[in-house]
Amino acid sequence: MSDARTNVRDALYEPPGPRTRRITAAATGISLAGIGVLAALVVRRFAVAGQLDAKYWALFTKGTTWLYLGKGLVGTLRAAAMAGVITFAMGFLMMILRISRLRAARAVGTALVEFTRGVPTLLFIYFFFLVVPQLGVAMPAFWKITLPVAISASGIVAEVLRSGVNAVPKGQREAALSLGMRESSVFLKVVFPQAIRFCIPALISELVIVLKDTTFAYVVTFPDLMQNAKVLISNYDSLLAVYLVVAVIYIFINYLLNRLSDFAAKRRDRGLVVKTG
Amino acid sequence: MRNMEPDQNGAEVPVIELRHVEKHYGDLHVLKDINLRVGKGEVVVIIGPSGSGKSTLCRTINRMETIDAGEILIEGVPLPVEGRELAQLRAQVGMVFQSFNLFSHRTILDNVTLGPTDVLHVPKKEAREEAMRLLARVGVESQAHKVPAQLSGGQQQRVAIARSLAMHPKAILFDEPTSALDPEMIGEVLSVMTELAGEGMTMLVVTHEMNFARRVADRVIFMDAGSIVEENTPDAFFSHPKSQRAKDFLDSIQNH
């Protein structure tokens, strides 16, 4: 534990004694058994209801099905990536307003953050889907999903970034100022690069939420994974099978993103450990 | 140590001058009518009990702390209060902090080149060459490509000194540079500072290292409760302190 890399989790973790280990093992066994029984019940229910019949799953033997889902996945990834970029840009600007020395700028920043955080994503989507066309603006479906999803996440990202900026030790700023660096340089070259390291895990979590929010694409009929899944369901009448497969795909992608987040956090901890001895 | 004390030959303008400086933190009067002159090449050491205002005094000189009244002059020019002028002035006065404050996301080499490239617009290659020379001078050139967290405290503080030297400052402010160090690392930092003093660098040093003050200082300033109580050569101050407060302070630290 004397390792310099000791992180907060290790610091809060007390190695269990023999009795705790026995209790933990018993609880794990009982939980696993319980989950097994539940899963068996679910599968049995499906079998009884005929959901496991080959006819519902036959569509997955066709290449066209996978091609179609693949196209949907590309749509999802494109929308999520674009929404992620816009979210970050908007979040950054709102964060700059929030930490400004000007009271008016701070007020505007706070209002934007509260507005974007407070309104449900679906409401923003309806705005772009129903109101924007009425204003005479023709917008491709891609933007009708990415913009509202991005706006909805931007306030949270602004707050995540702000907490990162606040987490950078005051001395970093002072050292940069003492070299004669201007405020903008101090922020862009010293404070923000460190702040972003603090919040990479939270930012990636937010990207997962953005990716999941793109499933609202069906509202604006943008062909993402979810929308294409719905089309498959209505063509083949196999609701459960398609939803199960699509869920697995979403879980897999988000799992990869979360692994990326862990990896980034580990790398950061290696670089930012403060050693004073 | 030098024999010449430039502020005694009258005509020369002091590098750092404070006139009637006052500062409050709310009800607390932390700096009371501070008057101080540091001449070119002079090493002035400020000592005093904790809470005496010595660190605050040091930090007002490059406006890390604002003042309520009085004047601070750098080479006879009043300290600007904001903007480009303040930044330009800070570029001329180095600062070494108690907690090193190396940029933790940059390599050691980048820590030293950032100031010259960003502020003085020195070409990158040139800045790197000079940085390597400075790192060699403070004895950490072999660590140039590591990040600060990989260095010991003593090494980090020596890098911080190199970082400040890279700006070719007119003076360097040391704000308790060894207070966060393990005993065996204090010596390596003090020896770098002693060398600097020997080369004629103008230095204002807030420290608890009495031996350093005795050996290296041209003048010792004793502060207590926000005021400068005594100001003398190290020999005179340490052997014959005039004020009771200075006597008590020296007794308290020598009893350890």
User: Is it the case that residue B3 has pLDDT exceeding 90?
Assistant: no
Residues 153 to 172 of B: which have CB under 8 A from any A CB? Answer: 153, 160, 163-164, 167
Tell me if A243 sits within 8 A of B77, measured CB to CB: no
pLDDT at A259: 92
pLDDT at A232: 92
The mean predicted confidence, pLDDT, of chain B is 92
The helix, strand and coil proportions of chain B, stated in percent and rounded to the nearest 5, come to 40, 25, 35
User: Is it the case that residue B215 has pLDDT exceeding 90?
Assistant: yes
Strands B28-38 and B16-25: antiparallel
pLDDT at A7: 56
Q: Is A267 on the interface with B (CB under 8 A)?
A: no
Q: What is the mean pLDDT of residues B177-186?
A: 92
CB pairs under 8 A between A and B: 89
Contact yes or no for B99 and A171 at CB 8 A: yes
Residue of chain B minimizing CA distance to A168: B104
Write the ipTM: 0.92
CA–CA separation, B70 and B88 (whole Å)? 21
pLDDT at A11: 65
User: Is it the case that residue B139 has pLDDT exceeding 70?
Assistant: yes
Residue of chain B minimizing CA distance to A5: B149
Residues 32 to 91 of A: which have CB under 8 A from any B CB? Answer: none
Distance from CA of A199 to the nearest CA of B (A): 14
Residue of chain A minimizing CA distance to B89: A180
pLDDT at B7: 45
pLDDT at A272: 54
- Measured between beta carbons, the chain B residues lying within 8 angstroms of A271 are 104-105, 147, 149
Query: Measured between alpha carbons, how far is residue A19 from residues A23, A24, A114, A272, B242 in Å?
Result: 6, 9, 49, 37, 68
Tell me if B226 sits within 8 A of B70, measured CB to CB: no
User: Is it the case that residue B11 has pLDDT exceeding 70?
Assistant: no
How crowded is residue A176: how many other Cβ atoms within 10 Å of its Cβ?
A: 25
Tell me if B76 sits within 8 A of B37, measured CB to CB: no
Tell me if B16 sits within 8 A of B74, measured CB to CB: yes
Helix or strand (DSSP H, E) at A158: helix A141-167
Residue of chain A minimizing CA distance to B95: A178
Distance from CA of A115 to the nearest CA of B (A): 34
Across the interface, of A181, A185, A274, the residue whose CB is closest to B149 is: A274
Q: Kindly give the parts of chain A with pLDDT less than 50.
A: 1-5, 273-277
With bands split at pLDDT 50, 70 and 90, how would you rate the model's confidence at B67?
very high
Across the interface, of B84, B87, B147, the residue whose CB is closest to A271 is: B147
The tokens for A73 are: 């996945």
Contact yes or no for A180 and B105 at CB 8 A: no
Contact yes or no for B103 and A275 at CB 8 A: no
**In B33-140, alpha helices (H):** 54-60, 83-92, 108-119, 124-137
Lowest model confidence (mean pLDDT) among A105-114, B136-145, B153-162, B245-254: B245-254
Residue of chain B minimizing CA distance to A276: B153
